[in-house]
């Protein structure tokens, strides 16, 4: 009866909304912020991630067996130490550079390969799982009425099902406030909880045993590539029963006839920082557990959710609701590309914010290739930090979706790399300052890994350091700028010393380098002065000059850096009308490589504008058209941002459709748990698409706050609150049929806010923009025009209107149109 009433209600809802998008939906937006399923996870890509920045778990939700795959963020193989090649590299550097300037690229790459080979230069250390918590519920195989979900409005995962006449429920969260994972299992009326709790771990060096009424796992991380595992970890599991009885075996806890049981899982290691492992794993783990056990379950849960919502609730997004929301996620994913489900885009956007809050908290490690969630000892690419795109992409949503606190772990890593990277700058390149190649790990290695073709890229620090300047642009926080000034200065010093004069035009270039992972000749990546190098050095120098000006520091150095900046190669438009990827015009229109590094300037940087340099804007577009749409997950995530910057909302949305498609063997897409598929799972694509959605709605990189710069037809009506713009502005927007109906601006810093919009806005408080903007946070990069312009035509860009609003710090301005 109940079932048929529900079915009838669903049919009525479908009839009332089918084919249209409901905005006055019956369910509130918060209720829609759930990933729900009608089956347990049968594999890791169906399990649901919970995390508090330090501790993570994947929740499988099996009725007869619960599995929580456990992570603690500092369980990494190996131990402290950098990975520099011996000084044969430095001795060979002049010859290496000469070979490249003589056009002998293959010989150069072969020479570099020999010089970076050696015991220290392999792949870096892997991030490792702790193991699994398994809870067996005898007799629960025949469960009915099954449902599980991840509520991203509350950061809690739940499972519910019926056995006989008893409804069983589980709730689990990784507590931000108590630093433990907590799971509560409850039997409904007439039933009891009877289960066996065990731990399992793939580590070779480990012990699992019971002690009193607790289950204990102790172990040491793996040894790898000549580095002995030195991270000592501990897991303590403590069940608290409501009624019933707890007994133990050597290695399991047995709960019988309880009304409910709350399981506390505490994890810790001896890790203090990248060069200090003198912490006490037991003391930490025991300390967190003891404190957490004093907290009643209800207040532990409400404290956790309140902490989470402080961040999560800063931004809301409503793109409308269709009947598709009534279905479980796998069905919605299956239909997203061809159906009508704008709420899935909003959910995916908010899931990205959920993941960032859950994987990256102040004081924790930055999000790895898999965020915080990894079930292997040897995960793909070691689940470490690939800094030629992936780690940066993880943090693209941090500022614009108002989660700047979550950016902190990356800033700390930068400060640490600015120490370890001095050795690679000096010993490998004879330069001052600091630098890093294309990977790093928990130990903050800065030498090359993965051999010469992939690894000889001295630009990792250059790219990462952009995040410091971006944080300053969004927040205007001068104290923050002071605290990272040496990092920005050290990055600039490295290039000031390492740049070389290339023979054809006497431009200053990075050599050896590459356009990440792409070949310019068969099997050869190594070259000099790639387009991306020039853009990155442009930003490193500009950021240093900006910081030195704000802080009134190092004027003599600033003058000399300004001279070098003027000698960088210009952007060049090649014979296919494309932005050249290399100094020479070598691009192939059929090159579909996943990295499109020369478009760094279009996003995440701000060196190209349809208004200031339309020829380069058009060339960037041509390059992107050649590269195509479908690719690895993260590459599609990047493309969403690019098409948004190219002001083509429908194409950006098309990329989202490609990305939000179930992943098949070799193609990027999305897994049933909404995590991104490279494949395999890699979290960067989630974050890339999250920032891409924000870029479709609000942009602030090009001298103004551009409202709805790339709105797709599919999102003709909607509402967003809380997006951030450079200059300390917060923007709320309502729009109807593509036109803005309401705008709310909060100003944190005061100053002029210039808006850019496609339609004319009429309101007494807004003045038609005149003259230069005058707000320092809206400063735009001044790039040189190309020397070679082969493209005949520049496609028309859409007409824009600009308005100025004079703001005062702390005030809110509301406009209805």
Per-residue DSSP letter, 765: T
Q: Is 360 helix (H, G, I), strand (E, B) or coil?
A: coil
Between residues 126 and 610, which has the closer beta carbon with respect to ligand FUC? 126
Distance of closest approach, residue 666 Cβ to ligand FUC, in angstroms: 12
- Would you say 527 or 632 has its CB closer to ligand FUC? 632
Q: Which of 170/678 has CB closer to ligand FUC?
A: 678
Identity of the residue, 34 or 678, whose beta carbon is nearer to ligand FUC in the bound complex: 678
The two structure tokens encoding residue 281: 């794993």
Are 766 and 755 within 8 A, CB to CB? Answer: yes
- Taking the least distance from each CB to ligand FUC, the nearer of 441 and 648 is 441
- CB closer to ligand FUC out of 394 and 699: 394
Q: Which is nearer to ligand FUC, 678 or 754 (CB)?
A: 678
Q: Closest distance between ligand FUC and the C-beta of residue 106, in Å? A: 21
Query: Are residues 284 and 269 in contact, defined by beta-carbon separation less than 8 angstroms?
Result: yes
Specify the residue, 390 or 647, whose C-beta has the smaller distance to ligand FUC. Answer: 390
CB of 496 to ligand FUC, least distance (A): 28
CB of 514 to ligand FUC, least distance (A): 12
CB nearer to ligand FUC: pick between 469 and 681: 681
Phi first, then psi, for residue 774 (nearest 5°) are 85, -10
Written in H, E and C, the secondary structure of 651-674 is HHHHHHHHHCCECCCCCCEECCCC
- Give CA angle at 725 (566, 795), nearest 5°: 60
**Contact status, residue 741 vs residue 788, Cβ threshold 8 Å:** no
Nearer to ligand FUC, 120 or 632 (CB): 632
* φ, ψ for residue 385, nearest 5 deg: -115, 105
Cβ–Cβ < 8 Å for 494, 487 = no
Shorter beta-carbon distance to ligand FUC: residue 464 or 791: 464
* 3-state SS assignment for residue 438: coil
- 778, 735 contact by CB (below 8 A): no
Q: How far apart are the first and last CA of the chain?
A: 49
Three-class SS string for 475-519? HCCHHHHHHHHHHHHHHHHHHHHHCEECCCCCCEECCCECCCCCC
Q: Which residue has the tokens 């409202």?
A: 707
At 350 the three-state DSSP class reads: helix
Instruction: Name the phi and psi angles at 575, rounded to 5.
Output: -70, -20
Shortest CB 108 distance to ligand FUC, Å = 21
| Cβ-based neighbour number of residue 737 at 10 Å | 7
The residues that touch ligand FUC, with contacts defined as CB under 6 A, are 369, 381, 386, 390, 517, 594-595, 632, 634, 678, 682
Shortest approach of ligand FUC to residue 676 CB, angstroms?
A: 10
Q: Least distance from C-beta 413 to ligand FUC, angstroms?
A: 17
Contacts of 1 (CB under 8 A, 6+ apart): none
Show Cβ contacts of residue 598 under 8 Å, excluding neighbours closer than 6 positions: 515, 530, 531, 532, 535, 579, 580, 581, 623
Q: Kindly state the helix (H) or strand (E) to which residue 170 belongs, with its residue range.
A: strand 166-174
Which residue lies nearer to ligand FUC by CB, 437 or 645? Answer: 437
* Residue 613: C-alpha distances to residues 592, 617, 692 (Å): 26, 6, 22
Q: Which is nearer to ligand FUC, 193 or 377 (CB)?
A: 377
How near is the Cβ of 682 to ligand FUC at its closest, in Å?
6
- In the numeric block, the tokens 């509520």 are attached to 151
Cα(216)–Cα(235) distance, integer angstroms: 6
CB of 580 to ligand FUC, least distance (A): 21
**Pick 471 or 595: Cβ nearer ligand FUC:** 595
Hunting for tokens 């056990």 — which residue is that?
A: 293
Question: Residue 516 Cβ, how far from ligand FUC at the closest point, in Å?
Answer: 7
Q: Are 347 and 341 in contact (CB under 8 A)?
A: no
Shortest spacing between CB 56 and ligand FUC, in angstroms: 19
In the complex, minimum distance from the CB of residue 638 to ligand FUC, in angstroms, rounded to a whole number:
11
| Tokens representing residue 254 in the block | 């047995």
Nearer to ligand FUC, 594 or 621 (CB): 594
- Least distance to ligand FUC from the beta carbon of 612, Å? 31
Alpha-carbon gap, residue 685 to 667, rounded angstroms: 13
Angstrom distance (rounded) from CA 711 to CA 718? 10
Q: Is the dihedral angle over the CA atoms 600, 606, 610, 614 positive or is it negative?
A: negative
Q: Are 466 and 539 a contacting pair, CB within 8 Å?
A: yes
Residues 6+ apart with CB under 8 A from 539: 462, 466, 469, 605, 607, 781
Angle formed by the axes of helices 408-429 and 466-475, to 10°?
Answer: 150
- In the bound state with ligand FUC, the residue whose beta carbon lies nearer, of 311 and 454, is 454
Evaluate whether 712 touches 652 at the Cβ level (below 8 Å).
yes
CB of 390 to ligand FUC, least distance (A): 5
List alpha helices for 102-137, DSSP H: 105-116
Instruction: Find the shortest distance in angstroms from Cβ 388 to ligand FUC.
Output: 6
Reduced to 3 DSSP states, what percent helix, strand and coil does the chain have, rounded to the nearest 5? 35, 25, 40
Which of 618/686 has CB closer to ligand FUC? 686
Q: How far is the CB of 799 from ligand FUC (least distance, A)?
A: 39
Q: In what order do the strands lie in the sheet with 131-136?
A: 48-51, 55-59, 65-72, 131-136, 193-200, 253-258, 245-248
Nearer to ligand FUC, 40 or 692 (CB): 692
CB of 634 to ligand FUC, least distance (A): 6
Q: How far apart are CA 130 and CA 215, in angstroms?
A: 14
User: CB of 593: closest distance to ligand FUC in angstroms?
Assistant: 9
């Amino acid at each position: 009866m109940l079932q048929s009433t529900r079915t009838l209600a669903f049919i009525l809802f479908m009839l009332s909304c089918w084919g249209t998008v409901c905005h006055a939906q019956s369910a509130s937006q918060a209720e829609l912020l759930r990933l729900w399923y009608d089956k347990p996870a049968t594999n890791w890509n169906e399990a649901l991630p919970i995390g508090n920045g330090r501790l993570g778990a994947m929740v499988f939700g099996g009725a007869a067996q619960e599995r929580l795959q456990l992570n603690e963020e500092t369980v990494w193989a190996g131990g402290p130490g950098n990975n520099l090649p011996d000084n044969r590299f430095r001795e060979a550097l002049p010859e290496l550079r000469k070979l490249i300037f003589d056009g002998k690229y293959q010989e150069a790459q072969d020479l570099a390969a020999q010089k970076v080979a050696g015991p220290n230069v392999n792949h870096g250390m892997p991030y490792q799982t702790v193991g699994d918590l398994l809870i067996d519920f005898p007799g629960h195989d025949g469960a009915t009425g099954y449902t599980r979900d991840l509520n991203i409005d509350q950061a809690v995962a739940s499972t519910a099902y019926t056995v006989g006449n008893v409804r069983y429920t589980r709730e689990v969260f990784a507590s931000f406030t108590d630093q433990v994972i907590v799971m509560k299992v409850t039997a409904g009326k007439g039933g009891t909880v009877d289960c066996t709790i065990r731990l399992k771990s793939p580590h070779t060096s480990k012990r699992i045993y019971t002690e009193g009424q607790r289950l204990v796992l102790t172990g040491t991380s793996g040894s790898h590539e000549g580095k002995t595992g030195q991270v000592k970890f501990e897991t303590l599991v403590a069940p608290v029963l409501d009624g019933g009885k707890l007994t133990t075996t050597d290695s399991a806890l047995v709960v019988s006839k309880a009304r409910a049981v709350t399981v506390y899982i505490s994890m810790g290691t001896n890790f203090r920082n990248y060069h200090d492992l003198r912490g006490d794993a037991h003391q930490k783990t025991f300390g967190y557990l003891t404190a957490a056990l004093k907290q009643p379950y209800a207040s532990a849960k409400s404290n956790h959710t309140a902490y989470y919502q402080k961040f999560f609730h800063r931004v809301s997004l409503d793109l409308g609701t269709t009947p598709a929301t009534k279905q479980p996620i796998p069905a919605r994913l299956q239909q997203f590309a061809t159906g009508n489900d704008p709420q899935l885009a909003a959910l995916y956007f908010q899931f990205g914010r959920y993941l960032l809050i859950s994987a990256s908290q102040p004081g924790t490690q930055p999000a790895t290739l898999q965020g915080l969630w990894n079930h292997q000892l040897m995960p793909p690419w070691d689940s470490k930090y690939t800094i030629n795109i992936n780690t940066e992409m993880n943090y693209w949503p941090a500022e614009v979706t108002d989660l700047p606190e979550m950016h902190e772990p990356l800033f700390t890593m930068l400060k640490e790399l600015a120490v370890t990277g001095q050795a690679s700058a000096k010993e490998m390149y004879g330069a001052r300052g600091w630098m890093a190649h294309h990977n790093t790990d928990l130990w903050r290695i800065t030498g090359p890994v993965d051999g010469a073709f992939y690894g000889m890229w001295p630009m990792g620090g250059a790219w990462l350091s952009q995040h410091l300047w971006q944080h300053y642009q969004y927040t205007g926080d001068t104290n923050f700028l002071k605290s990272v000034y040496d990092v920005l200065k050290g990055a600039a010093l490295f290039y000031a010393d390492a740049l070389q004069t290339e023979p054809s035009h006497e431009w200053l270039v990075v050599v050896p380098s590459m356009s990440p992972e792409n070949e310019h000749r068969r099997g050869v990546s190594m070259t000099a002065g790639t387009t991306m190098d020039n853009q990155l050095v442009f930003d490193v120098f500009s950021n240093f000059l900006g910081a030195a000006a704000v802080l009134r520091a190092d004027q003599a150095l600033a003058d000399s850096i300004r001279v070098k900046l003027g000698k960088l190669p210009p952007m060049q438009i090649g014979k296919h009308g494309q932005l050249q990827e290399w100094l020479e015009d070598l691009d192939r229109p059929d090159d579909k490589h996943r990295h499109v590094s020369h478009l760094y300037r279009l996003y995440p940087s701000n060196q190209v504008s349809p208004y200031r340099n339309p020829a380069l804007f058009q060339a960037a577009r041509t390059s992107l058209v050649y590269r195509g749409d479908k690719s690895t997950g993260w590459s599609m995530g990047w493309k969403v941002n690019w098409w948004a910057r190219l002001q083509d909302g429908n194409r950006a949305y098309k990329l989202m459709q490609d990305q939000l498609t179930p992943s098949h063997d070799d193609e990027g897409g999305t897994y049933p748990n909404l995590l991104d598929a490279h494949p395999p799972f890699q979290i960067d694509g989630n974050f890339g698409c999250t920032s891409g959605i924000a870029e479709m709605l609000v942009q602030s990189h090009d001298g103004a706050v551009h409202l709805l710069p790339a709105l797709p037809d599919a999102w003709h009506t909607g509402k967003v609150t809380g997006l951030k713009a450079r200059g300390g502005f917060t923007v709320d927007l309502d729009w109807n049929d593509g036109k803005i109906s309401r705008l709310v601006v909060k100003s944190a810093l005061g100053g002029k806010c210039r808006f850019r919009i496609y339609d004319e806005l009429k309101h007494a408080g807004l003045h038609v923009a005149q003259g230069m903007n005058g707000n320092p946070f809206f400063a735009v990069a001044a790039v040189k025009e190309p020397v070679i312009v082969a493209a005949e035509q520049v496609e028309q860009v859409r007409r824009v209107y600009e308005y100025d609003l004079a703001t005062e710090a702390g005030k809110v301005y509301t406009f209805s149109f």
